[in-house]
Amino acid sequence: MKVTKIVPGSPCWAQLSAHDLPAAQAFYGELFGWSAETDPDPQYGGYTTFSHGGAPAAAVAPLMNPQQPVMWLVSFAADDVDATCETAKGAGAQVWMGPMEIGDLGRWALFSDPTGAPFAVWQARKFAGFGVVNEPNAFGWVDLSTRDKNAAVEFYRTTFGWQVWPNDVYPMVGLAGEMFGGVMAMDASIPAEVPSHWAPYFQVTDVDAAAATATRLGAEILHGPVDVEMENGPRIAVVRDPQGATFGVFAPRTTN
């Protein structure tokens, strides 16, 4: 569906940082049918917006420094980035960059939460973020994998006022009665060098077909395809793209 309003505190953008922008454009273009438009302004270093049906769906940008990992970065909307920054710091976040102006598009800051997961906050001006969500080939969910689930949930509840739907395994979070994500504890099966992290999930019509396409294009399937074992749980797969960034795909469960 087309986005008409983004609720402050909710996911508003997903941006991939990659070594090879043309390769990323080719991979995601074929996987999701996205078109790509690179900003010609040199100050943005080749920042490229992916569109779905003419609406902004995600983006890819060059790495800011050689030590930066290839990854998807999720941004959350704020009415006032500076105020959110102070709240987040008070709740235990580390501020890595900003707050800063991004041209006339908006105001931005980069953080890591108390469990180490990077995220960003965006105060919209000319650019609001997602123009389409919750339909095939668009963003539809966000997942936090963390070493301290309880601390993470409390941090985001304090910082953004999130509602929490309690669950011993996978508490879900949202605003205004609408869920948009969940929090998963990283257990001993996950290598210690894997940090806490957010991952966007993009909706598809057929998870198995999307996983097969991703594999053909050079990606690795880390989990699934599998049906989530909960009432009305979706079918999902977790993918590591050819440059190493992790994301998910999902399809809502169909009823006969």
pLDDT (average), residues 122-131 = 96
Whole-angstrom distance, CA of residue 89 vs CA of residue 36: 35
84: confidence class by pLDDT, cuts 50, 70, 90: very high
Decide: 21 and 6 in contact? Cβ < 8 Å. no
* Structural domains of the chain ordered from first start: 11-124 (3.10.180.10), 139-251 (3.10.180.10)
Whole-angstrom distance, CA of residue 161 vs CA of residue 163: 7
- Bridge partners, 121 (sequence order): 76, 109
pLDDT (average), residues 49-70 = 92
pTM of the model: 0.94
136: confidence class by pLDDT, cuts 50, 70, 90: very high
> Given this model, what pLDDT does residue 224 score?
85
